[in-house]
Every structure is written in C-alpha cells, then in structure tokens.
C-alpha cells in the first residue's frame, strides 16, 4: 500500500509493539501528529509540559516495563530539549527511541528557522542515530532503530526525519517483528575457568549491577549466590536485582555503600562482577580496590572489560545465559567461616538511628511498611536518592528507577509518569529533594492531566543537600549557593496544578499523611520539612579507599 512518510512511521511504531508515546508538537512534526491523530485508537500520545519531561517519561516507561520507550519532539529547541533525557538513558543503558523532526532537506545546512544538527549533537550519547533522507528508507530505519535499542546492551537511538520526508509517499510493506536474539554463544573454556575460580575461592563476593536487571537475570543471580554461599552487594543501578531482605545481601557498594559491603569487597579473595561497570563511585581509590581478590567480570558489553578495572578473567555474553551455565557446574563448598565474618560486619554500626525527629530514614521506612515494599520508586538526584537506596528495601527488579550514571536532577517526576503509565494499578512514588523537584515540577500538570496517582515525597531541607554536605565536610562549611531559603510553598504549587498537597513537619504525623495520600487516586505532593544538616552516611571521602568508609562525623574527625 502507498502511504506518506508520517503514516509509515506510525505503522512501523505499531509494528514494533508501541502503544504509548510521549512528546510535544511543533512545526516540523505536524504531519506526524496528524498521523497520530488518525491512529489514536492504536497509539496513545501523552503530551508533557516540556520535551525533557517526554524523554524522562519514555525512559521511566522503559525501565518499569522492560519495553522500548518512545518520545517525539520537533526540530531545533524541541530536539535539543530531549538531549539531557537521551544522555540519561544512554548512561543507564535504557532502551529508548527518540524521534525528532527537522527542516525540509533543501533547507538543511542553511541555518533555517528551528534547524539544528541533532544527529551531530547526540552522536556521543546514543547507541546509533539516523537522519532519514529518502522516504523509501524510513520503514527499515525505524525497524533497525528498535533492534539496536533492544539488542545487546540496551540504549537510546535517535531518528531525525526532515519534514518533507513525512509528506512524501512510497509503498509500504508491513512486516512481523521477530524476537531479538540474545548473545548466547558462550565459550565453554571460559565457563570452565570461571567455575574453577569459584571453586578455589574461600571468600567469594558478588557485585551486581543494572545489567542483571536488563538481562532479566535476577533469578539466576539469586541461585548462584545461594549455591556458592557468597555475599551480594549491588550498585545503585542494580537495586532490586537481589532481595534486600535476604541474609546474603550486604547493601550498596561504593562511595555511599554500607561498611559491610565495602569491607567485604576489600577482604574477599574472588569478586564476581555481574552486569556492572566498575564506575568511579563504586571503585573509589583504584589502586586499593579489592586488593586481595581475583576479579571475574561477566557482561554483555565487551567494551566494559578492563575499561576501569583490570580483571583476572571475563565472560562476554548475555548475563542470564552465562549465569545459567555457571549454576549447572557449581560444586558445593563450605564457606561458613567467611559468611559468619560478613554477617558480623553487617551487625556492626552502619548508619545513625532515627532518633525522635522527622528524618528521611523514618519517612522511607514508613513508605516501605505502608506499601508492603510493592511500590515502584523513582527518585530525583541528591541525598534523597541515596537515602532511598539505603532505607527502602528493594526486593524485585525494576522497582527503583533512578538516574545513576548521569545523575540528572529533575529526572524523577517525568520517570514516575512513564512508570505509572507503563504499570497501571501499581503505586508509583517519586522521592525528591527540593532542589531537584524545582527543575521539572511543571510535569505535575502532565500527571494531573492524565489522572496519574503518582505521589511526590519532597525531602525539603531548603538546600542543595548533597553539594552542601561536601561543603560542610571538605570546604570548611563555606555554603556557596547551596542554601535555598526561597519562599516557594510546595503545597500551594501542588494545588495550583490540580494535585493534592500535604505539609509534613512532625514525625508523629508521617503515617497519617502517607495513608491519606496512598488512599487517594490522585496526584499528590508531600512536603517533608527535614533538618538541613541531615547527611548521607556512610561515606568514602574523596581520594580514600573503600575500606576507609566512615559512618558518621565522629569517624571523620578520627580520620
């Protein structure tokens, strides 16, 4: 059949299983929006308040569902407003297809109105990008984009479509989309060597990251850990890949990891890294990272091998497939002495207690209790993000959605919208700081417009808390531009957007307010007034090794 480029695009999206798209219209994508209007019974378009919100919503949708998220923006500023969201998805390996319009082909390169080289801009932050110059190439380009976004290590792909391409016609042939084949061929010798390393180890430790979640390999990770009696630590992106309630779980690793995790990694004789990339926030001081351990690295992306940390052995392949093969060959071995030692580390002082005041820990633990740990938690970026990872017990994959690699303030609200749409009926709670929330609070209008029961919990310390913490500890309390004594009333802001607002100032009111917000089927904002000097502990000071982790300011004085 003969169709316009705009209709071919929408037909191909439907062919790829897309039923949800986030975007904002403009001149260069008018034909696409006209086509979306015709196909509105097959694809639901969600109009966000800003293109950055559309990108974060598509990302949140992808992370919550495991499907490819899709966002759409016009040329020029519309396209550039997607960039932060695309980079966020790229750093965290989230599958996304971003579609941008551009000026007609004959105007490209002439500084035309709302023209920008978006493929050039996004080249470093996408797995691949395309500019479609022939309508005959459009269908195959869309199919290829979705394949690239899904296969191997997932990530964002951009398709830039000049306006005249959306107007031109050509023959379109529908195609049934096949399953993406996983990289399953694993060298038998590599498996055997890994099994020998595991069997020889007296003190094995597993460090798992977001790659376990992307590969849907949490059951295999669990089985491996239990079979070899190895403690498990997770990166921020790996939260939920192993249940936080399990005895073998030692908590997060790295700069704000638990003392038990950081010391166990320092003392283990085999570190099995699964779907993790050894980021600087995990490794801290490189020359003292896991000094007694042989490192076995399992990852889908060969580029990550020996990139940040030199390893003794590696296996490149689909994590789920590799772990399954390892599990088949595991031999039982008594490691009770090592386990007892790690359990003793867990029992030692980790973080300060709640006291009697309104603390982030108390709020997060109460959220966990009242939701039964079944909520989808999104976060902005800052102290509240780390408190969330520490105090909410994530037991399943895809229940924490956060910006780990890029650390994007303003990510959480858009992501919570995408997650809520991806998983209707699931309770979605966005944990925010007052600084991060201000960045994209305009997306409250989107949540309210689509009747999304998202709850935003603001840890309001009237400061850019994480930066202020560093200024307090390492810059002699010179608080340059981190104090936010602004007059913004977040309850009134929520109400102005059509949401419900709550003020929370006392510990004894936490349960009552949370229960009321949870009982509503509406967008809600809870402003929690917490002390400005609450800090994130534990912490590895800059330039220190994991073993130098401190659990409060008294430790800092000692060191």
Please list the active-site residues.
51, 113-114, 163, 466
Please provide residue 463's backbone torsions phi and psi, each rounded to the nearest 5 degrees.
Answer: -160, 160
Give the containing element (helix H, strand E) for 136.
Answer: none
Q: Which residues, other chains included, contact 530 with Cβ-Cβ below 8 Å and sequence gap of 6+?
A: 358, 359, 360, 459, 460, 461
Distance CA 531, CA 533 (A): 5
Q: Which residues, other chains included, contact 491 with Cβ-Cβ below 8 Å and sequence gap of 6+?
A: 501, 502, 503, 525, 527
Q: Which residues, other chains included, contact 179 with Cβ-Cβ below 8 Å and sequence gap of 6+?
A: none
How long is the chain? Answer: 559
Distance CA 161, CA 307 (A): 35
Q: Which residues on neighbouring strands pair with residue 376, listed in sequence order? A: 428
Q: Which residues, other chains included, contact 414 with Cβ-Cβ below 8 Å and sequence gap of 6+?
A: 48, 52, 53, 54, 55, 56, 57, 59, 60, 85, 440, 443
DSSP symbol at 550: B
Angle at 510 between CA 506 and CA 512, to 5 degrees: 120
The DSSP line for 250-287 is EEE-STT--HHHHHHHHH-SEEEEES----HHHHSSGG
Q: Where are the beta strands (DSSP E) in 361-494?
A: 376-379, 400-401, 428-433, 455-460
Distance CA 123, CA 516 (A): 46
Contact present, 400 and 239 (Cβ < 8 Å) = yes
Distance CA 457, CA 444 (A): 13
Strands 376-379 and 400-401: parallel
Q: State the burial class of residue 328 (Cβ atoms within 10 Å of its Cβ: 0-12, 13-18, 19+).
A: exposed
Q: Which residues on neighbouring strands pair with residue 129, listed in sequence order? A: 158
Contact present, 386 and 540 (Cβ < 8 Å) = no
Distance CA 469, CA 482 (A): 10
Q: Which residues on neighbouring strands pair with residue 158, listed in sequence order? A: 98, 129
């Amino acid at each position: 059949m003969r169709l316009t480029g705009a209709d071919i695009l929408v037909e191909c999206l439907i062919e790829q299983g897309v039923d949800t798209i986030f975007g904002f219209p403009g001149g260069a994508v008018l034909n696409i929006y006209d086509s979306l209007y015709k196909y509105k019974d097959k694809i639901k378009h969600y109009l966000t308040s800003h293109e950055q919100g559309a990108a974060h919503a598509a990302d949140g949708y992808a992370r919550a569902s495991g499907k490819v998220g899709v966002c759409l923006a016009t040329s020029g500023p519309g396209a550039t407003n997607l960039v932060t969201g695309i980079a966020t998805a790229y750093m965290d390996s989230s599958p996304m297809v971003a579609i941008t319009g551009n000026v007609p082909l004959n105007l490209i390169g002439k500084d035309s109105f709302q023209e920008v080289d978006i493929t050039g801009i996004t080249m470093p932050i996408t797995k691949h990008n395309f500019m479609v110059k022939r309508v005959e190439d459009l269908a195959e380009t869309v199919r290829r984009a979705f394949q690239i976004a899904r296969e191997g290590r997932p990530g964002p792909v951009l398709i830039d479509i000049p306006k005249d391409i959306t107007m031109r016609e050509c023959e379109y042939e529908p195609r049934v989309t096949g399953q993406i084949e996983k990289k399953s061929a694993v060298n038998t010798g590599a498996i055997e060597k890994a099994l020998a390393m595991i069997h020889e180890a007296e003190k094995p430790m597993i460090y798992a990251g977001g790659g376990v979640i992307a590969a849907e390999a949490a059951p295999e990770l669990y089985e491996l850990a239990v079979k070899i009696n190895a403690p498990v630590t997770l990166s921020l992106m790996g939260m939920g890949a192993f249940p936080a309630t399990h005895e073998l779980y030692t908590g997060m690793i790295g700069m704000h990891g638990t003392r038990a995790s950081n010391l166990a990694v320092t003392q283990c004789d085999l570190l099995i890294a699964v779907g993790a990339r050894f980021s600087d926030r995990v490794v801290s001081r490189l020359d003292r990272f896991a000094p007694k351990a042989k490192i076995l690295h399992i990852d889908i992306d060969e580029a990550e091998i020996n990139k940040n940390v030199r390893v003794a052995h590696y296996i490149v392949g689909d994590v789920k497939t590799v772990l399954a093969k390892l599990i088949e060959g595991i031999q039982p071995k008594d490691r009770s002495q090592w386990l007892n030692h790690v359990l003793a580390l867990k029992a030692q002082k980790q973080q300060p207690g709640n006291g009697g005041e309104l603390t982030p820990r108390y709020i997060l633990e109460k959220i966990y209790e009242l939701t039964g740990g079944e909520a989808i938690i999104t976060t902005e970026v800052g102290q509240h993000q780390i408190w969330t990872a520490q105090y909410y017990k994530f037991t399943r994959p895809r229940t924490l959605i956060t910006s780990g690699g890029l650390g994007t303030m303003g990510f959480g609200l858009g992501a919570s919208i995408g997650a809520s749409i991806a998983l209707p009926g699931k309770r979605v709670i966005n944990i925010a700081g007052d600084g991060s929330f201000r960045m994209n609070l305009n997306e409250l209008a989107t949540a309210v417009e689509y009747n999304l029961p998202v709850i935003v919990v603001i840890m309001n310390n009237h400061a850019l808390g994480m930066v202020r913490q560093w200024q307090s500890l390492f810059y002699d309390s010179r608080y340059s531009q981190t104090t936010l004594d602004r007059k913004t009333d977040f309850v009134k802001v929520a109400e102005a957007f059509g949401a419900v607002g709550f003020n929370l100032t006392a510990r004894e009111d936490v349960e009552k307010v949370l229960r009321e917000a949870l009982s509503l089927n509406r967008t809600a904002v809870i402003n929690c007034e917490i002390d400005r000097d609450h800090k994130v502990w534990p912490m590895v000071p800059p330039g220190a090794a994991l073993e130098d982790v401190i659990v409060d300011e008294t430790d800092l004085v000692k060191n």
